[in-house]
């Protein structure tokens, strides 16, 4: 077995991939073969019937989060190091065993304590934890805690698709929104346990929501960003799919990384040791043999019983109070933005924050800058919903948020909830909200500016 095309011809591999994509509305193929044909995006989406064609071309396979059977609830944890993005590929054994593993064990303990059934999958940078809440199993309870912006509702109702997909039912959008809120509850528990562990052992690397820039630059991200956009725009990597991100993003991750590291394989971990799974994900024959093992099932488990337990705890939490207060406030009307959100005096802000606001593409969309501005505006007395409105007013009009694709209001609300809730709850003490940390992370644009980020803690 020489390459991924031959690997994909194995019947057991195809069966496992088919198990995972069952019920998906569409699939996505991604890889070098697309770039060779002039597709600069390196991916394309298509109906499930295109699966064999994608595999025959050796593409990575993704499935849509939008599906016919239920709401997919997925937690993505990954190692990140913006200074050395190829580190996870070049030193995978060390990073997985000693840097990701302590956090992985916390994730598994939280899921176990809450009674959530899940499928754990090792990826190119960490792990995915998948479960599904079927529409038939009291799904209305998940929908009830979700919240859809009016602009997003209109996108769902008026959805236009090149593949002829119908409008997205609002109950699916509400379930997707509710899934984010339950995952945030679970992720905050993971984060607090990780903080406690790090107090005892400073070798444990920090845990953050998304890729917050730090110094030293490495951390583990609890990445919930798949819930930051309309459900029909998001997809997730399939177990037993190849992983060739480092081959496609050669210039970002490193030419030497792309040349040295082979195409990898995304695998369900089962009860396999970390040593064996790390070897297997770079060996097509071993992976295809594993696909024949009943323990390698890729059926996404029904986690609704566990998530109902999470829902009960969430409703008794301060996070639930935060979300209710957030939902109760409306953004300022767009016709009033020049008197409200655009009227903010940027001279009152440190230059690093003002620069992000006046140069929103790409600076205002970066998680590090979003978290900083959320903290600053909250310290100035802004309500969290109006902080989200401020971001919405500056996101709207950017090329990324074109009609029928990504939604500026949804993205803004997502990130302010993501970073605002830990501040509101007192979990995020903003220890790195200082000029030295910001400079060391590469986010200071004007040293000795006369401002001190600690003022806004």
20-52 confidence digits (pLDDT tens): 999 999 999 999 999 999 998 999 999 999 999
Query: Which residues form the domain of 367?
Result: 326-456
Q: Under DSSP, is residue 334 helix (H, G, I), strand (E, B) or coil? A: helix
Query: What pLDDT does 216 receive?
Result: 85
Percent of the chain surpassing pLDDT 70: 99
Name all contacts of 439-446 with Cβ < 8 Å and 24+ positions apart.
Answer: 440/215, 441/213, 441/214, 441/215, 441/217, 441/368, 442/213, 443/213, 443/352, 443/368, 443/369, 443/372, 444/352, 445/351, 445/352, 445/355, 446/351, 446/352
- As a residue count, the chain comes to 457
CA 1 – CA 252 distance, rounded (Å): 29
Q: Under DSSP, is residue 178 helix (H, G, I), strand (E, B) or coil? A: helix
Lowest-confidence segment of 114-128, 206-220, 251-265 by average pLDDT: 206-220
Query: What pLDDT does 161 receive?
Result: 66
Query: What pLDDT does 277 receive?
Result: 98
Number of helices and strands in the chain (H, E): 22, 12
Averaged confidence pLDDT in the chain: 96
Q: Under DSSP, is residue 45 helix (H, G, I), strand (E, B) or coil? A: strand
What the block records as the tokens of 202 is 């400073």
CA 234 – CA 225 distance, rounded (Å): 9
pLDDT (mean) for 405-434: 96
Of 307, 334, 360, the residue at which a domain comes to its end is 307
Q: How confident is the model at residue 256 (pLDDT cuts 50, 70, 90)?
A: very high
Query: What pLDDT does 45 receive?
Result: 95
Q: How confident is the model at residue 335 (pLDDT cuts 50, 70, 90)?
A: very high
CA 176 – CA 231 distance, rounded (Å): 7
Q: Which of 354, 357, 375, 363 is nearest to 442 (CA)?
A: 363
CA 302 – CA 272 distance, rounded (Å): 22
First-to-last alpha carbon distance for the chain, in angstroms, is 56
Whether residue 343 has pLDDT greater than 80: yes
Tell me which residue has tokens 């909250």: 378
Query: What pLDDT does 367 receive?
Result: 96
What the block records as the tokens of 220 is 């583990």
275-305 confidence digits (pLDDT tens): 999 999 999 999 999 999 999 999 999 999 9
Residues 302 and 336 in one domain: no
What are the phi and psi torsion angles at 382 (to 5°)?
-75, 145
Residues 29 and 161 in one domain: yes
Element (H, E) at 209: strand 207-209
* Residue 87 burial (10 A CB sphere; 0-12, 13-18, 19+): buried
pLDDT (mean) for 166-193: 98
- CB contact at 8 A, 107 and 212: no
Q: How confident is the model at residue 74 (pLDDT cuts 50, 70, 90)?
A: very high
In a domain, 314, yes or no: no
Residues 265 and 396 in one domain: no
CA 424 centroid distance within chain: 22
Residues 247 and 348 in one domain: no
pLDDT (mean) for 413-426: 98
Query: What pLDDT does 162 receive?
Result: 61
Query: What pLDDT does 402 receive?
Result: 79
Structural domain total, the chain: 2
Q: Under DSSP, is residue 126 helix (H, G, I), strand (E, B) or coil? A: strand
Element (H, E) at 131: strand 126-134
Residues 278 and 384 in one domain: no
Q: Taking the CB of residue 35, how many other CB atoms lie within 10 A of it?
A: 16
pLDDT (mean) for 332-355: 97
114-173 confidence digits (pLDDT tens): 999 999 999 999 999 999 999 999 999 999 999 999 999 999 998 876 667 789 999 999
In a domain, 205, yes or no: yes
Pairing label, strands 207-209, 219-223: parallel
pLDDT (mean) for 426-447: 93
Query: What pLDDT does 388 receive?
Result: 99
Query: What pLDDT does 405 receive?
Result: 86
In a domain, 14, yes or no: yes
Residues 264 and 211 in one domain: yes
Of 255, 276, 307, the residue at which a domain comes to its end is 307
- CB contact at 8 A, 264 and 243: yes
Residues 163 and 303 in one domain: yes
User: By 3-state DSSP, what share of the chain in percent is helix, strand and coil, each rounded to 5?
Assistant: 50, 10, 35
Angle at which helix 170-200 crosses helix 101-114, to 10 degrees, equals 120
CA 207 – CA 276 distance, rounded (Å): 26
Q: Under DSSP, is residue 243 helix (H, G, I), strand (E, B) or coil? A: strand
In a domain, 319, yes or no: no
Residues 285 and 336 in one domain: no
Query: Which CATH number characterizes residue 161's domain?
Result: 3.90.920
In a domain, 316, yes or no: no
Integer CA distances (angstroms), 89 to 126, 129, 370, in order: 11, 21, 28
* Residue 348 burial (10 A CB sphere; 0-12, 13-18, 19+): exposed
Residues 236 and 87 in one domain: yes
Q: Which of 60, 106, 98 is nearest to 79 (CA)?
A: 98
Q: Which of 434, 449, 416 is nearest to 350 (CA)?
A: 449
Of 272, 307, 342, the residue at which a domain comes to its end is 307
pTM, whole model, 2 decimals?
Answer: 0.96
Residues 370 and 292 in one domain: no
In a domain, 159, yes or no: yes
381-407 confidence digits (pLDDT tens): 999 999 999 999 999 989 999 777 899
Element (H, E) at 127: strand 126-134
Residues 302 and 392 in one domain: no
In a domain, 8, yes or no: yes
In a domain, 303, yes or no: yes
Sign of CA dihedral 170, 370, 111, 81: positive
Residues 193 and 143 in one domain: yes
What the block records as the tokens of 165 is 């997909």
Angle at which helix 318-328 crosses helix 384-395, to 10 degrees, equals 60
């Amino acid at each position: 077995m020489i390459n991924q095309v031959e690997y994909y011809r194995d019947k057991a591999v195809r069966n496992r991939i088919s198990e995972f994509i069952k019920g998906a509305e569409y699939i996505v193929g991604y890889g070098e073969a697309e770039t060779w044909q002039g597709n600069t995006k390196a991916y394309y989406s298509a109906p499930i019937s295109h699966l064999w064609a994608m595999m025959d071309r050796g593409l990575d396979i993704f499935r849509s989060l939008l599906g016919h059977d239920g709401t997919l609830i997925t937690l993505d944890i990954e190692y990140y190091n913006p200074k050395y993005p190829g580190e996870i590929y070049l030193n995978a054994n060390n990073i997985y065993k000693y840097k990701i593993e302590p956090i992985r064990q916390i994730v598994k303990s939280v899921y176990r304590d809450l009674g959530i059934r899940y499928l754990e999958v090792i990826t190119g940078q960490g792990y995915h934890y998948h479960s599904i809440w079927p529409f038939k199993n009291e799904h209305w309870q998940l929908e009830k805690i979700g919240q859809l912006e009016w602009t997003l509702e209109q996108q769902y109702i008026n959805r236009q698709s090149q593949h002829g997909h119908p409008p997205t039912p609002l109950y699916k959008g509400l379930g997707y929104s509710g899934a984010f809120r339950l995952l945030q509850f679970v992720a905050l528990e993971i984060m607090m346990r990780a903080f406690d562990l790090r107090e005892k052992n400073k070798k444990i690397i920090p845990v953050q929501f998304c890729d917050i820039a730090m110094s030293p630059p490495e951390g583990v991200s609890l990445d919930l960003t798949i819930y930051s956009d309309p459900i029909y725009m998001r997809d997730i990597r399939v177990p037993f799919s190849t992983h060739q991100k480092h081959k496609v993003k050669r210039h970002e991750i490193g030419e030497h990384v792309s040349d040295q590291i082979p195409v990898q394989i995304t695998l369900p971990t089962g009860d396999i040791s970390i040593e064996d799974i790390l070897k297997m994900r770079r060996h097509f024959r071993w992976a295809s043999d594993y696909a024949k093992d009943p323990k390698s099932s890729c059926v996404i488990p029904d986690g609704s019983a566990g998530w109902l337990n999470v829902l009960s705890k969430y409703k008794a939490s301060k996070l639930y109070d935060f979300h209710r207060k957030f939902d109760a406030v409306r953004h300022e009307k767009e016709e009033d933005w020049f008197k409200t959100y655009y009227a903010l005096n940027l001279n009152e802000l440190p230059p690093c924050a003002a620069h992000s606001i006046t140069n929103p593409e790409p600076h205002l969309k970066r998680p590090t800058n979003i978290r900083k501005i959320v903290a600053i505006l909250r310290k100035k007395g802004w309500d969290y919903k109006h902080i989200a409105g401020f971001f919405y007013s500056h996101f709207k009009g950017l090329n990324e948020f074109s009609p029928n694709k990504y939604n500026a209001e949804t993205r803004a609300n997502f990130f302010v909830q993501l970073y605002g809730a830990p501040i509101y709850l007192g979990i995020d003490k903003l220890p790195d909200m200082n000029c030295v940390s910001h400079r060391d992370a590469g986010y200071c644009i004007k040293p000795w500016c006369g401002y001190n980020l600690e003022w806004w803690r």
